[in-house]
């Protein structure tokens, strides 16, 4: 039977815990694994790893565990409801750490396959904002369905109901400063590709 060694042979300070500290100021050593976050998280029962376990994977400075965290469903199911931070006795900013892990997971292309729909939704949302300066709901749905063809028939019955109640705006709002907004997106992409 294979025994997994827990001793990291990677030199100190090259792992995710350091990048995390630099990017967010959060130190994973503060967490003493009490589990209060997992206990109060609305979706911890649905996740492959409860939130406190994700943090544990960052505490041992092991690349294998870090990849497990980055490839988990957890980070994409996280609702950013901030319940964990509100209750954490050590004031560990877990929502911030989740944001970091999501960004890192996309950068490395390691997102969990089941999170495709969620990521597509975020991308479709941001595409709309980049183009018009605001969210164009119909455009968002169309973009999302294009990325996720299996959801083509999702909510189709709802659309006419919303339209009849005047809640579906068919024309996008193009703000005067949309090119300025597009520039923000472009410059952010440039900055991030340099990392």
Binding mask 46-65 for another protein (x = CB under 8 A): x--xxxxx------------
Among 3-11, 14-22, 59-67, 152-160, which window interacts with another protein (CB under 8 A)? 152-160
Among 1-9, 13-21, 41-49, 59-67, which window interacts with another protein (CB under 8 A)? 41-49
Q: Is 27 an interacting residue with respect to another protein (CB under 8 A)?
A: no
Q: How many angstroms from the chain centroid is the CA of residue 160?
A: 31
Helix ranges, 14-168 (H): 16-24, 36-40, 51-59, 63-70, 74-77, 83-87, 94-108, 116-132, 137-147, 158-164
Query: What is the residue-wise DSSP string for 55-99?
Result: HHHHHT--HHHHHHHHT-SHHHH-----HHHHH-TT---HHHHHH
Q: Is 18 an interacting residue with respect to another protein (CB under 8 A)?
A: no
Q: Is 67 an interacting residue with respect to another protein (CB under 8 A)?
A: no
Provide the minimum distance between the beta carbon of 173 and another protein in the complex, in angstroms, as a whole number: 6
Q: How far is CA 164 from CA 115, 140, 161, in A?
A: 33, 19, 5
Nearer to another protein, 9 or 150 (CB): 150
Q: Is 120 an interacting residue with respect to another protein (CB under 8 A)?
A: yes
Among 11, 91, 152, 193, binds another protein (CB under 8 A): 91
Collapsed DSSP state (helix, strand, coil) of residue 43: coil
Provide the minimum distance between the beta carbon of 12 and another protein in the complex, in angstroms, as a whole number: 26
Q: How many residues bind another protein (CB under 8 A)?
A: 80
Burial tier of 84 (Cβ tally within 10 Å: 0-12, 13-18, 19+): buried
Q: Is 19 an interacting residue with respect to another protein (CB under 8 A)?
A: no
Q: Is 180 an interacting residue with respect to another protein (CB under 8 A)?
A: yes
């Amino acid at each position: 039977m294979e025994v997994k060694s827990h001793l990291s042979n990677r030199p100190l300070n090259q792992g995710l815990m350091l990048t995390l500290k630099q990017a967010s100021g959060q130190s994973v050593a503060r967490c003493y694994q009490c589990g209060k976050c997992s206990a109060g998280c609305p979706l911890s029962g649905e996740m492959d790893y409860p939130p406190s376990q994700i943090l544990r994977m960052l505490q041992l400075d092991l690349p294998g565990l870090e990849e497990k965290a980055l490839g988990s469903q957890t980070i994409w199911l996280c609702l950013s409801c901030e319940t964990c931070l509100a209750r954490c006795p050590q004031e560990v900013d877990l929502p911030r750490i989740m944001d970091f892990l999501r960004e890192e997971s996309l950068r490395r292309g390691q997102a969990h396959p089941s999170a495709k729909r969620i990521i597509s939704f975020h991308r479709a949302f941001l595409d709309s904002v980049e183009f018009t300066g605001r969210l164009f709901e119909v455009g968002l749905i169309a973009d999302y369905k294009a990325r996720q063809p299996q959801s083509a028939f999702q909510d189709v019955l709802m659309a006419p109901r919303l339209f009849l109640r005047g809640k579906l705006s068919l024309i996008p709002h193009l703000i005067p400063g949309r090119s300025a907004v597009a520039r923000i997106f472009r410059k952010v992409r440039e900055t991030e590709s340099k990392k």
